[in-house]
Amino acid sequence: MPSRLSSGGRRVAAFALASLVLLSAATGVAAAQSYQGASDTIVVGVDETYDSVEGFAGTIVVRGTVTGDVSAAAGTIHVTETGEVGGNVEAAAGTVRIDGTVGGDVSAAGGTVEIGESARIAGNLDAGAGFLAIHGSIDGTVRAGAEEIVLGPTASVGGDVRYDAETFTRDPDATVAGSVVRDETIGDSAGPDFGEFALPSWLGAVYGLFVNLLLGAVLLAAFPSFSARVAERVGESPAKSGGVGALTLVAVPVVLVVLLLTIVGIPLSLVGAAAFGVAAWVAVVYGQFAVGSWALSLADRDNRWLALVVGLVGFAVLGAVPILGGLLELIAFLLGLGALALTLRESYRSRRRAPGGRQTTLGETGDTPTA
């Protein structure tokens, strides 16, 4: 086996990594067309127009115009102040927020559903949520089931408000043209009915696992020694890696915000935010890979590919456990982020130090393929 990847091989690996990042962050870009499919992020830009949007994604943002319906499942779905949906919105997400205009009905299910002050819904609102806040205008009726429902001072409802909630708060300035009635029969029936569009609950986890495994395979193939050092650092000093990861997670956004406040620093802040987003994704994969490597070491096994599969699949399964799964994923992310930062710093210093005062080469930093 060669002692290092050839320059051509590294260019191919770098191209593959860049292509993977672009694939994961892909957004719909063509005007006057329908979007159907799955992506990490789906964005309808301010100057873009779509006939309809049907998709599954981590984040869906409508800043422009959708002449038809939006039917989607995502981590976050947001129709911004400039966004306009001519048809209906059927949304299932962790957070659903409407700040723009919807010409039809809105059916939403999520942990949080918010109708902002600038929102205008021409039809009805049917919502099932942990928390529902209405501050905008709804011409039709509201039918909602939630743990907590709030009608803010700027809320305006043209029809009835029928609800089932443990806590219901109505500001005296909120306007409801019809009646406000508690209806305990609503229960879990509130929210969207996707019909044929309904997606299995496990589909998002499978998609995320596939993309992370693909990224992990590229990283292990392109940077085998560096990846091994990241995993070793987590195993040797988990407390230090986790602490540096937490510090990095707090410090980098603060620096980016400070840069954003200066005219000269705005481009740097935007580029830095994009780079940190990619680094955070890489840290997630590295953290779970490192835990997989540690688990295999307990069984006296040393196989980086198996460690990748064990780590990522294991955390995908643990992620389904409420609270505990999310906490363990956060710990792995902090371990990966800290180990990545420390290993990058170590590589930078080693490249500046070289025999005779020259800069070291990649070969001298030890980035060689491993079995």
**pLDDT given at position 20:** 46
Band of the pLDDT at 363, cuts 50, 70, 90?
A: very low
CA distance 214 to 285: 10
Band of the pLDDT at 322, cuts 50, 70, 90?
A: confident
Tens digits of residue pLDDT in 47-82: 899 999 987 777 899 999 999 999 988 888 999 999
What separation in angstroms does the CA of 297 have from each of 72, 235, 292, 300, 305? 42, 10, 9, 5, 13
CA-closest candidate to residue 336, choices 294, 278, 283:
283
Q: Which residues of 201-226 are buried (b: 16+ CB within 10 A; e: fewer)?
A: eeebeebbbebbbebbbbbbbbbbbb
**pLDDT given at position 219:** 94
Q: What number is the average pLDDT over the span 172-191?
A: 83
The angle, 0 to 180 degrees and rounded to 10, between the axes of the packed helices 265-298 and 224-236 is 70
Which phi and psi angles does 177 have, rounded to 5°?
-70, -30
What separation in angstroms does the CA of 162 have from each of 37, 40, 72, 117, 298? 34, 35, 25, 21, 57
Tokens standing for 67?
A: 């002449």
CA distance 308 to 192: 37
Tokens standing for 345?
A: 């710093």
Q: Is the pLDDT of residue 368 over 60?
A: no
Tokens standing for 48?
A: 């873009």
Q: Is the pLDDT of residue 26 over 60?
A: no
251 vs 15, which has greater pLDDT?
Answer: 251
Tokens standing for 32?
A: 């006057």
Query: How many helices (H) and strands (E) in the chain?
Result: 7, 16
CA-closest candidate to residue 144, choices 171, 227, 18, 157:
157
Q: Which residues of 6-16 are buried (b: 16+ CB within 10 A; e: fewer)?
A: eeeeeeebeee
Tokens standing for 286?
A: 């590295």
CA distance 363 to 351: 10
Contact residues for 217 (Cβ-Cβ < 8 A; gap 6+): 305, 308
pTM: 0.49
Q: What percent of the chain has pLDDT over 90?
A: 51
What separation in angstroms does the CA of 8 have from each of 5, 40, 225? 8, 30, 18
CA distance 94 to 191: 13
Give ∠ CA 232-233-235 in degrees, rounded to 5. Answer: 65
Q: Are 51 and 70 in contact (CB under 8 A)?
A: no
Q: Are 173 and 74 in contact (CB under 8 A)?
A: no
Q: What number is the average pLDDT over the span 305-332?
A: 89
What separation in angstroms does the CA of 265 have from each of 2, 55, 249, 255, 258? 43, 36, 20, 10, 8
Q: Which of 306-310, 324-328, 357-361 has the least mean pLDDT?
A: 357-361
Q: Is the pLDDT of residue 308 over 50?
A: yes
Contact residues for 87 (Cβ-Cβ < 8 A; gap 6+): 52, 66, 67, 68, 69, 70, 103, 104
Strands, E assignment, 178-283: 180-182
Tokens standing for 295?
A: 């688990």
Band of the pLDDT at 25, cuts 50, 70, 90?
A: very low
CA distance 119 to 273: 29
Q: Are 109 and 90 in contact (CB under 8 A)?
A: no
Tens digits of residue pLDDT in 90-119: 998 888 999 999 999 999 988 899 999 999
Tokens standing for 125?
A: 């609102």
CA distance 154 to 168: 16
Tokens standing for 78?
A: 């947001």
